Structure 1
Amino acid sequence: MTPDFDLTGTGPVLLLLPGGAGHPMGLGPLTARLARRFTVVTYDPLGLAHGRLGEPVPDQRPQDWADGADRVLAAVLPPGERGYVFGTSSGGIAALALAARHPARLAHVLAHEPPCALVLPDGAERRRELIAALDGPGRPPAEGPDATPMGVFLAHVLHPFTAYVPAPALARLTLAAGTDSHGQLPYRAAQFLADGSLLELPGGHLGALEHPEEFADRLAEALTSTSVGG
């Protein structure tokens, strides 16, 4: 079964992998800007924006999001063409898994601040700190009528995704981080994985929401350039 997704714009296919629990909330301005140049495919891996928020959700794995993303690309790509991919935060981790597992449909993958904590020398400690900072008392519900995307993220995405250690990419891959994120765990993880070729994008960890037009223009330039990343 093909997972839920939305389509807008015209041009080469660009698959967006949102952060958090995969709910695309807040990405409208970024998507609208990118749709001037791409057919933007916004992947909703858990269907939270398509009527399934509040339903039971098992613990998630980056591999499963990647496999779903490949099925989405199979459904939307014209025969013989490859797609661009952008993932941020937990979506960036899914993008790394996609680049390792399903390279055949990929033209260029850009992973923005994937918080793969365990790749860092001090990653286990930093991961504990991150989880403690985010997942404290008062967690919003993950199921039922009052469920929230943040509740789903904290209950079923945060722990398994931050423990993910990426396999080598088999597709063209660029790692990116925000200009305002220096020293933070997601920036450090991206920098470590980039191995000296990190791309900086506007804003911080939420740069795609904070500076959508500038972020979109820089993202489009990086994805389509023959000299950036990869």
Structure 2
Amino acid sequence: MSTPELHLYIGSKNLSSWSLRPWLAMSHAGVPFEEHVIPYELPDWVDRVAQRSPTRKVPALRHGELVVWESLAICEYVAEAFPGARLWPEGREARAVARAVSSEMHAGFADLRRELPMDVARRYPRRAISDGAARDVARVLEIFRDCRARFGQGGPFLFGAFSIADAMFAPVVTRLLSYDVEIDEVARAYAGTITSLPAMARWSAAAAEEVERNPHLTAPAGSSYAKAAGGAAAP
């Protein structure tokens, strides 16, 4: 078997939501790549990442001499390099909206990210969140409802078939579940779709193994790992 040409450098799977996004897109689509996990707890984490990413952040994708950083840029590159993966919707309108919500996810939802950091392997009791985080959650649920109603007739994903938009929102699904956030039936069904993906199950199992090896690898707000994930890997 030949060695995959693509190499994806990612952070710890329990915490690094930005790493999950391209990993899930590539894994679900069957794009061959070799993953390289750089655990957050390593004392020389920044130095190791700096050897592979110009921003000193994960994820980063290497394809030959080319290095691509930023999750959405990686997904876009893979979609162009592997058109058979069909990582964007085929219809022009659906594709435009998929790109819009993916970009919104990439740039927005700061309060949700800060107050509900990704922690795949753990479950927390429901707690009060700020008005800003509540608005972020409401917007996420609105996106789910709108995309499913307008474009979801062909399958269980946001745009019917799996797309980059689903990869971009998958980490949010894990947050909603980890912190027992109140969600509507559309979001609940969509969360079930995402968590039942074989690739997502593999990621979650690996995250659980990480936490079993290192119980401190968790991300309650203010923890050292949450700060590392936010500053170095920006979950």
Q: Same fold (TM over 0.5)?
A: no
- More helix, by proportion: 2
Scaled by the length of structure 1, what TM-score is found?
0.28
- More strand, by proportion: 1
